[in-house]
Amino acid sequence: MNNSVLITISIITIGIIMFSFLSKPSGMDISISEFKEKVESNPGVIIDVRTRQEYDQGHLKMTDAQYDWNGGEFQDAIEDLDKDKTYYLYCRSGNRSGQAARMMKNEGFENVYNIGGFDDLASNGFESE
C-alpha cells in the first residue's frame, strides 16, 4: 500500500474512535431509580408497548396507554401524541420500548424515556395489576 492510503485509513480510524468517545449518550434509557425520581417530579404519560396479551397478563397500575409495538399499533398512535409531553415507555425486557423511544425521538419528541422491562419494574416496587 502506498503512504497516502495508509494515512487516509489512519485518519478515518482516529476519527471514528474520537467520535465514539465524544458522542453523548441519548439519555433515553434510564434506570429504575432514575424513573422513580423523574416520575415523582414529572408524572408524564406511561406507555406499555407490549402486545395486548402480555398487557392483560399484568401491567403497571400507573400505565396510561398500551400500544403494541410488534403489531404496528404504536407506530400509528404516535401521530396523535403531544410532542410537548413527557413519555415513559416499557415492555418485557426494554428492547421494544427502546426502539419505540428512538422512533419518538426521530419524530421530534424531546422528553422520551425507556424505563425497561415490566418484571423489573414490578419487582422494584411499582404496583401492577
| Range 25-123 has CATH code 3.40.250.10 | yes
> For residues 75 and 52, what is the distance between their CA atoms, to the nearest angstrom?
15
Q: Which residue pairs from 79-85 have beta carbons closer than 8 angstroms and sit at least 24 positions apart in sequence? A: 81/45, 81/109, 83/107, 83/108, 83/109, 83/110, 84/110, 85/44, 85/45, 85/111
Contact (CB, 8 A) for 112 and 84: no
Q: What is the pLDDT along the chain (129 residues), one digit of tens a residue?
A: 577 766 777 677 665 554 444 433 457 999 999 999 999 999 999 999 999 999 999 999 999 999 999 999 999 999 999 999 999 999 999 999 999 999 999 999 999 999 999 999 999 999 999
* Residues in CB range of 126: below 8 A, 6 or more apart: 60, 61, 62
Instruction: Residue 97: count other Cβ atoms within 10 Å of its Cβ.
Output: 29
The pLDDT value recorded for residue 32 is 96
> For residues 109 and 101, what is the distance between their CA atoms, to the nearest angstrom?
9
Domain residues of the chain, as ranges?
A: 25-123
